[in-house]
């Protein structure tokens, strides 16, 4: 089968031939119908060899959807032909966090060498994907896999980041979204569906700001050195109750801190390497800063439920598997609007 692999540190991904895997006991083989391309892969491909926590080659793709092609021994919850989405942050399934469905925070995954598909285990950018356990599958329930596949990360990650702050998003409140890309343009829709907050989106170019408005942002601001002052002005000087930073670089976390209201949540989702100091004279009173990772199994089911209710519309650019390297190149150059989805 064809697979898109990251094979050499610092080099572009390549389309190669690899054997179709066979499901062992408890595992499920999917014929991949759609796989999303996430900016985290770009970050991983920029790490030096000594920082890579897994060996190469690696089949990329941590957003996956497919139809069940074969069942390993003992799997009874699914049947061949079922259409499913894959919950990506695999855990051990048995620790206290996994018991809550929070496999993204599995207490034993590092020690057991368990890694998500596409981020250590062979990923979804291939014709077939081996899923290690049937509990990592969520039925699509009629959703179009191309539209739904980004929801497994570009939907689930902002959903988790927003849900934990909903109590702060009362009527009259403001939420700021920095970076209206794959995750950010879904975050704007989630904020509109789940809260009465006014949404202000920041990005670098007019195409991204236009998409932000199209998907529900009330205001858009160019992300430059004046952005914080503009957001402050739009909020009558008070700032925002929730700031979601989908870039996470030094300049954006500085903006995030500068627009945070008293008692705000500043949530850094992007892997840009920035950090935000908090302290008297440095930040507004009682600001909470956090850096959440992905989301829980239950939250993925909730996000798919929201999509089924018609609340989410992912802006998708599709590519054949041979063009996956081009999709990565375009993502790296900031030229994807919404999410790139590969159809293997």
CB of 205 to ligand NAD, least distance (A): 6
CB of 255 to Zn ion, least distance (A): 22
Burial class (CB in 10 A: 0-12, 13-18, 19+), 249: middle
According to DSSP, the β-strands at 240-245 and 260-268 are: parallel
The nearer residue to ligand NAD, 27 or 337, going by C-beta atoms, is 337
Which of ligand NAD, Zn ion, none binds 13 (CB below 5-8 Å, type-dependent)? none
CB of 90 to Zn ion, least distance (A): 9
DSSP string, 51-95: G-SSPSPEE--SEEEEEEEEE-TT--S--TT-EEEE--S---SSS
The nearer residue to ligand NAD, 9 or 70, going by C-beta atoms, is 9
CB of 68 to ligand NAD, least distance (A): 26
The nearer residue to ligand NAD, 71 or 314, going by C-beta atoms, is 314
Sheet with 14-17, strands from edge to edge, namely 14-17, 2-6, 58-59
User: d(Cα 51, Cα 197) in Å, to the nearest integer?
Assistant: 39
The nearer residue to ligand NAD, 61 or 272, going by C-beta atoms, is 272
Taking alpha carbons only, the member of 272, 321, 270 closest to residue 13 is 321
Which of ligand NAD, Zn ion, none binds 271 (CB below 5-8 Å, type-dependent)? ligand NAD
Taking alpha carbons only, the member of 246, 256, 251, 244 closest to residue 284 is 256
CB of 94 to Zn ion, least distance (A): 6
The Cβ of residue 25 has, within 10 Å, a number of other Cβ atoms equal to 8
Which of ligand NAD, Zn ion, none binds 92 (CB below 5-8 Å, type-dependent)? Zn ion
The nearer residue to ligand NAD, 241 or 252, going by C-beta atoms, is 252
The nearer residue to ligand NAD, 3 or 314, going by C-beta atoms, is 314
Q: Whose CB is nearest to ligand NAD?
A: 181
User: d(Cα 280, Cα 148) in Å, to the nearest integer?
Assistant: 43
CB of 108 to Zn ion, least distance (A): 5
The nearer residue to Zn ion, 108 or 330, going by C-beta atoms, is 108
Which of Zn ion, ligand NAD, none binds 47 (CB below 5-8 Å, type-dependent)? none
Which of ligand NAD, Zn ion, none binds 160 (CB below 5-8 Å, type-dependent)? none
Backbone angles phi, psi at 80, to 5 degrees: -55, 130
Give residues in contact with ligand NAD (CB under 6 A): 38-40, 43, 153-154, 157, 178-184, 202-204, 208, 223, 246-249, 251-252, 269-272, 293-294, 331, 334, 336
Give Cβ neighbours of residue 87 (< 8 Å, ≥ 6 apart): 103, 135, 136, 137, 138, 152, 297, 300
Which of Zn ion, ligand NAD, none binds 61 (CB below 5-8 Å, type-dependent)? none
CB of 293 to ligand NAD, least distance (A): 4
The nearer residue to Zn ion, 145 or 182, going by C-beta atoms, is 182
Q: Which residues pair with 67 in a beta bridge?
A: 31, 83
User: d(Cα 155, Cα 146) in Å, to the nearest integer?
Assistant: 13
CB of 82 to ligand NAD, least distance (A): 26
Give residues in contact with Zn ion (CB under 5 A): 38, 40, 91-92, 95, 98, 106, 108, 153
Taking alpha carbons only, the member of 5, 12, 65 closest to residue 339 is 65
According to DSSP, the β-strands at 28-37 and 219-222 are: unpaired
CA 167 to each of CA 6, 176, 185, 194: distance values in angstroms, whole numbers, following the listed order: 41, 16, 22, 11
Per the CB < 8 A criterion, the answer to whether 327 and 335 are in contact is no
Per the CB < 8 A criterion, the answer to whether 158 and 186 are in contact is yes
The nearer residue to Zn ion, 153 or 299, going by C-beta atoms, is 153
CB of 107 to Zn ion, least distance (A): 5
Which of ligand NAD, Zn ion, none binds 269 (CB below 5-8 Å, type-dependent)? ligand NAD
């Amino acid at each position: 089968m064809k697979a898109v692999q990251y094979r050499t540190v610092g080099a572009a991904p390549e389309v190669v031939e690899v054997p179709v895997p066979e499901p062992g006991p408890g595992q499920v083989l999917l014929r991949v119908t759609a796989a999303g391309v996430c900016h985290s892969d770009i970050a991983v491909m920029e790490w030096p060899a000594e920082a890579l926590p897994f060996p190469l080659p690696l089949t990329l793709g941590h957003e996956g959807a497919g139809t069940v092609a074969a069942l390993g021994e003992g799997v009874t919850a699914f049947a061949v032909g079922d259409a499913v989405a894959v919950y990506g942050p695999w855990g051990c399934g048995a620790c206290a966090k996994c018991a809550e469905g929070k496999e993204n925070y599995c207490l034993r995954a590092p020690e057991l060498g368990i890694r998500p598909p596409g981020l250590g285990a062979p990923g979804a950018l291939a014709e077939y994907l081996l899923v290690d356990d049937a509990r990592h599958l969520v039925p699509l329930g009629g959703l179009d896999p191309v539209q739904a596949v980004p929801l497994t990360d570009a939907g689930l990650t902002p959903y988790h980041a927003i849900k934990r702050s909903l109590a702060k998003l009362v009527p009259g409140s403001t939420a700021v979204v920095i970076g209206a890309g794959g995750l950010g343009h879904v975050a704007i829709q989630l904020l509109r569906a789940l809260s009465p907050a006014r949404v202000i989106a920041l990005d670098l170019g007019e195409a991204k700001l236009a998409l932000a408005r199209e998907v529900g942002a009330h205001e858009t601001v160019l992300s430059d050195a004046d952005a914080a002052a503009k957001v402050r002005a739009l909020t009558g000087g008070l700032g925002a109750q929730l700031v979601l930073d989908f870039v996470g670089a030094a300049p954006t976390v500085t903006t995030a801190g500068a627009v945070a209201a008293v008692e705000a949540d500043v949530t850094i989702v992007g892997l840009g390497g920035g950090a935000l100091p908090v302290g008297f004279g440095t930040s507004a009173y009682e600001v909470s800063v956090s850096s959440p990772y992905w989301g829980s199994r239950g939250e993925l089911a909730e996000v798919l439920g929201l999509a089924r209710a018609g609340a989410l519309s992912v802006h998708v650019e599709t590519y054949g598997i041979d063009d996956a390297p081009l999709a990565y190149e375009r993502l790296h150059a900031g030229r994807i609007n919404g999410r790139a989805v590969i159809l293997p």
